[in-house]
Amino acid sequence: MTEPEPRWLSDEEQRMWRASMGVLNLLPLYLERDLQQLHGLTVHDYEILVRLSEAPDRRLRLTELAGLSHQSKSRLSHQMTRMENAGLVARESCDSDRRGQWAVLTEQGWERLVQAAPDHVASVRRHFVDLLTDEQKRVLGEAFGTVVAHLSGVDGGATCPKVLSQGTAQKPGGKARV
Amino acid sequence: MTEPEPRWLSDEEQRMWRASMGVLNLLPLYLERDLQQLHGLTVHDYEILVRLSEAPDRRLRLTELAGLSHQSKSRLSHQMTRMENAGLVARESCDSDRRGQWAVLTEQGWERLVQAAPDHVASVRRHFVDLLTDEQKRVLGEAFGTVVAHLSGVDGGATCPKVLSQGTAQKPGGKARV
DNA sequence: CTCGATCAGTTGAACATTCAATAAATGTAT
DNA sequence: ATACATTTATTGAATGTTCAACTGATCGAG
């Protein structure tokens, strides 16, 4: 009994895959650069700020925040420490579960987010969204929706975090408005 | 004179963007996990091995390799040291330009790549390519081709590497065959 | 030829991330 | 109640990445 020949990618698939990896590698560099230069924030900082800004009472339990932002708890813990030192967030202990902690957006964190958001959305448009036609946006939204659902749902054998979407170019505070 | 209202993303764009970021964050985790568990390689290791395997004489100048794999020279230098210690690659000094070094694929590196490739392409299919319809693959290939071209071409003010495609799921050795 | 600018690559320190071990609180079964 | 497993979050060490400084080679203008 011999191994079946692997299903190598077709030329078309190969191009698509390589382009995807290219975007995956390059896009964060540009977003990071813009955000860093203009507002002294990393993309990770920004992501945390957005998630907290959208949460009720601008606070989330650490585990939930870790999930929403696709990070391990350990990593988030270190990152929280850095952001706490920068005054962007604070930790508050949780009454209903005394193991737990709230990550809370500070007033200063909120202000930094509000300042940064317009430039960040412009950056996202310039390097990504505005390069796509309406049809491409539609198809891509559907396609990646499927992929994310799969990746979030798949039992990763406990190695991979099971978690949903992420976003970083929304008006601060979500529908609630500033 | 007042600031113009930023062009926030539409709901449709927002969904698309968040899904893209989700894929961007989650996909590498799965590929990494599979590759690590089955073959003890990182995605970065694999990328280097692929690029070298496709190059004439299975060797590339470090700067070119850095470009192809979207890494800074510094990072590549450290990574080469690790891979050299693991016996996957070797450095050879360059005759025509005595500043330069060749990154050379070792026989062992080649064998590891040949072993890993079928599982890796299966992983890429399972978590990404096979989740897409033919139309989605076609549109996505075009769309991301455009984006990568933009990101590679844009003068990033010297902060961002200007570089082209990347790939990690091809039959080792490219068209040349094993 | 020679001076200065640029290029190839390396290095070490600072910074970020992962990994495994830990502490403390909660849940659950007996 | 008590014991055991699970959950929440933190910590420190190991590993990986970024950043700026550096060496030595090549290029180009005069």
**pLDDT by residue, tens only, chain B of 178 residues:** 677 888 999 999 999 999 999 898 889 999 999 999 999 999 999 999 999 999 999 999 999 999 999 889 999 999 999 999 999 999 999 999 999 999 999 999 999 999 999 999 999 999 999 999 999 999 999 999 999 888 876 543 333 443 322 334 555 654 332 2
B128 and B134 Cβ atoms separated by less than 8 Å: no
Q: Is residue A14 part of a domain?
A: no
Is the Cβ atom of A74 within 7 Å of strand C at any atom?
A: yes
CA angle centred on A115, ends A114 and A121, rounded to 5° = 80
**In chain A, how many domains are there?**
1
Q: Please state at what angle helix B11-39 crosses helix A134-153, rounded to 10 degrees.
A: 40
pLDDT at A97: 95
Residue-level pLDDT at B177: 23
Q: What does DSSP say about strands B89-93 and A101-105: parallel, antiparallel, or unpaired?
A: unpaired
Judge whether B71 lies within some domain. yes
For A101-159, give the DSSP string: EEEEE-HHHHHHHHHHHHHHHHHHHHHTGGGS-HHHHHHHHHHHHHHHHHHHHS--TTS
Distance CA B82, CA B6 (A): 46
Domain that holds residue A144: 26-173
Residue B10 lies in a domain: no
- Residue A51 belongs to a domain: yes
* Within a domain: A91: yes
Where residue A100 falls (left for φ over 0; alpha for ψ -120 to 50; beta otherwise) is beta
How many other CB atoms are there within 10 angstroms of residue A6's CB atom? 15
Coil/strand/helix, residue B159 = coil
Q: Nearest CA to B117 among A156, A8, A2, A1?
A: A8
The CATH number that applies at residue B53 is 1.10.10.10
Shortest distance between the Cα of A97 and any Cα of chain B, in A, equals 30
- Inside any domain, residue B145: yes
Residue B177 falls inside a structural domain = no
Strand D proximity: list residues 55-94 of B with CB under 7 Å.
Answer: 71-72, 74-75, 78-79, 82
* B11 occurs within a structural domain: no
The C-alpha of B142 sits at a distance from chain A's nearest C-alpha, in angstroms, of: 8
For residue B82, what pLDDT is reported? Answer: 98
